[in-house]
Structure 1
Amino acid sequence: MHTQPQDVNKVSAESNTVELKSSKPNFYWKQSVSYLSTMLLGAAIAWSGSYYFFSHASMPQTRPALAQAIASPVQSRLPLSADGSNFVTPVVESVGPAVVRIDASKTVTSEVPEVFNDPFFREFFGGVPVPPQRQVQRGSGSGFIINSNGQILTNAHVVAGADEVRVTLKDGRSFKGRVLGTDPVTDVAVVKIEAQNLPVVRVGDSEKLQPGEWAIAIGNPLGLDNTVTVGIISATGRLSSQVGIPDKRVSFIQTDAAINPGNSGGPLLNAAGEVIGMNTAIINGAQGLGFAIPIATAQRIADQLIASGKVQHPYLGVQMVTLSPELKQEINSNPNSGLTVNEDKGVLVVRVMPNSPAAKAGLRAGDVIKKINGTPTLDASTVQQVVEKGQVGSKLSVELGRNGQSLTVAVQAATFPVEQQEP
């Protein structure tokens, strides 16, 4: 440990000795140092001038932004208003009072297993009758007020089969709710409470949504009332089969705003505080995959439920898939497919349901739907939307591609059979 200090002292002593013995070498040494100092000074001046020039002329915004980042290292990813708050806060303050909690309960009666009615069993246990088992199931969800006289929009699965519905407002008031109607096909329901002058939501345009727009979810996940989450619109037009609930007829909005059990029926909002969707589904085990019913669909269904308590959905009776060149090649190369596809684009009819409107009109598996009522159908979602917007009993003009030829057939839409889960 003492080696290094000894070496340093030795060098210093030798340097002093050299300096005492000769003044001429010292002169050259000083002269070299002088030249070196002059060169370093010039380089420093040149570097300082270059730094000043570039920092003030070439990159005028670099230094202020850097200084701001250093002064405030944690920045919000949300745009800020003039007072420094983000846009979410005023949205929540405005819409929050119109978001409600819905508690539903129903009594489920379990039948006595057949073994308990066996004479041997009854004799063995003294003939004591075994009463049916009754259990009260409870659940909660969310909803939002669409009319100041107490009409509330929520999911059908939140209130389906409920014996009692209770609606709690953000201000703490609680009301008994009456279910005006449910539609299991779209998972939309309307609940009515007896109250007046209630706060209501503003409705936006879900037809013009684009991926990347802001999305705000408000609801009561896992019993945590008035929870707010923020994300973006991840995608639009997700088919129910893609989401994992093929019995629904909805083209869902996908969002990465956190949605959990209890958020069902709550609003999905845009940056302006307008409702663009109703939160309804998640995929178990996934993160950032939430799905909402477009408000245009939910509102259309709600209007029918309020008017008549039920909804009639137009129905063609086909199973279909969006066609692509890869899918075409896969089908044609598979001898077990039983199909031959000649089209590269469109919607491929995979199956036609027996006795359905499509079957009566002559549609076949392997047909490729190109247009419906003049609307190009490049994906299955478009077909579903066009059919859903029609009326039961109306005729739809369907342009098909079959065996390399084009033909047009008229299909008269029937009422969708709820018990049947095909689209």
Structure 2
Amino acid sequence: MMKKIVACIALGFLLLLGSHTTVLADKVIDGEKTRTEVKEKKQVYPYQSVVRVQYLKRKKDYGTGFFVGRHHLLTNKHVVADAKKPSKELVVRIKGKDGKDYDYPVKKITPAKKDSDDMTILEIGDNPKDKGTLAAITPLKIASPKTISSVKKGDTIRAIGYPGDKPYSTLWESKGKITQIESDGSFLTFNALIYSGNSGSPLINEKNELVGLVNASTEGKKKPKTFGFLLRPELRRFLTKTIEK
């Protein structure tokens, strides 16, 4: 399901781009070389903030989310679109220091207002069986508005998440260059590989600050093309207001 969604969104972006389709460098990029597994012992900040958003009854249906507050996470709208009763269908799955997976119930889903903004905020409850895992997670630091507005073509950017073509529960980091960006940051492409399951992955700059989100990819392992958007002022305000409620 998630793979089909990602593919459809990627196709939609390509159709919308029209004459603005990204032109990558002539050199063919090997997508596998753009990503590296993040081993468990190295999962400190910012990696510890990135978790799975999992459908309970469908193990293969999951996306990526990341903490922006003690009980709040960001992910894509399309990751949770199938959940009619989130508290019964969705969990945020976190790997504890003991190596076990702990599921946290999704209490509330608050989507961004614009249909075109593929971002939603998840509020989670507690797991009484988990002792200390949640408290030990440091939410991702959001880059300043000035830093986000200065992101440009050619900048190095990283996506961290759980690609579906890799062993379940393994965390991977993809690194590439921004190849196209709209002036308002509402759309960007970069040349690093992501896969189904990466939907909702944070886009991180070289200072380990959150600047945006991934939301689609062509899933091409040769000359990959990945799509995302920046955390623009209106999205930042939406995030801050929702968390403060």
- 1:252 and 1:294 in contact (8 A); partners too: yes
Q: 1:194 aligns with which of 97, 114, 125?
A: 125
Superposition deviation, residue 192 in structure 1: 1.3
Distance 1:145 1:177 in 2: 13
- 1:277 alignment partner in structure 2: 212
- 1:302 alignment partner in structure 2: 239
Distance 2:242 2:56 in 1: 21
Secondary structure, aligned partner of 1:233? strand
- 2:182 alignment partner in structure 1: 237
Q: Does 1:264 align with 2:215?
A: no
Superposition deviation, residue 233 in structure 1: 1.8
Q: Does 1:221 align with 2:163?
A: yes
Q: Does 1:290 align with 2:226?
A: yes
Superposition deviation, residue 194 in structure 1: 2.4
Superposition deviation, residue 274 in structure 1: 0.7
Superposition deviation, residue 173 in structure 1: 2.8
Q: Does 1:159 align with 2:66?
A: no
Distance 2:189 2:50 in 1: 21
Superposition deviation, residue 152 in structure 1: 0.4
- 2:67 alignment partner in structure 1: 145
1:116-155 Cα deviation digits (max 9, x unpaired): xxxxxxxxxxxxxxxxxxxx7962100110012x100000
Report the residue type matching 1:202 in the other structure.
Answer: K
Matches for 1:52-63 after TM superposition, within 5 Å: none
Distance 1:94 1:137 in 2: 26
Distance 1:104 1:300 in 2: 29
Matches for 1:17-32 after TM superposition, within 5 Å: none
Report the residue type matching 2:211 in the other structure.
Answer: I
Distance 1:276 1:264 in 2: 16
Superposition deviation, residue 298 in structure 1: 3.9
Superposition deviation, residue 178 in structure 1: 2.1
Superposition deviation, residue 161 in structure 1: 3.7
- 1:217 and 1:258 in contact (8 A); partners too: no
- 2:5 alignment partner in structure 1: none
Q: Number of aligned pairs?
A: 180
Secondary structure, aligned partner of 1:199? coil
Matches for 1:401-420 after TM superposition, within 5 Å: none
Secondary structure, aligned partner of 1:221? coil
Larger Rg: 1
Superposition deviation, residue 93 in structure 1: 3.2
Secondary structure, aligned partner of 1:273? coil
Distance 1:192 1:173 in 2: 16
Superposition deviation, residue 232 in structure 1: 1.5
1:74-100 Cα deviation digits (max 9, x unpaired): xxx99xxxxxxxxxxxx9632011001
- 1:373 alignment partner in structure 2: none
Superposition deviation, residue 169 in structure 1: 1.9
Instruction: State the identity as a percent.
Output: 25
Superposition deviation, residue 180 in structure 1: 2.9
- 1:102 and 1:142 in contact (8 A); partners too: yes
Distance 1:277 1:208 in 2: 13
Q: Per the alignment, do residues 300 and 168 of structure 1 end up closer, same or farther by CA in structure 2, a change over 3 Å counting?
A: same
Superposition deviation, residue 251 in structure 1: 1.7
- 1:159 and 1:179 in contact (8 A); partners too: no
Distance 1:275 1:260 in 2: 20
Q: Does 1:174 align with 2:116?
A: no
1:261-304 Cα deviation digits (max 9, x unpaired): 11111111111111111110123658321111212354333345
Distance 2:104 2:59 in 1: 20
Bigger Cα displacement from structure 2, 214-223 vs 187-196:
187-196
Superposition deviation, residue 104 in structure 1: 2.5
Distance 1:96 1:252 in 2: 24
Distance 1:255 1:92 in 2: 24
Secondary structure, aligned partner of 1:190? strand
- 1:221 and 1:262 in contact (8 A); partners too: yes
Moved over 4 A (4+): 304-308
Report the residue type matching 1:188 in the other structure.
Answer: M
Q: Does 1:209 align with 2:151?
A: yes
- 1:167 and 1:177 in contact (8 A); partners too: yes
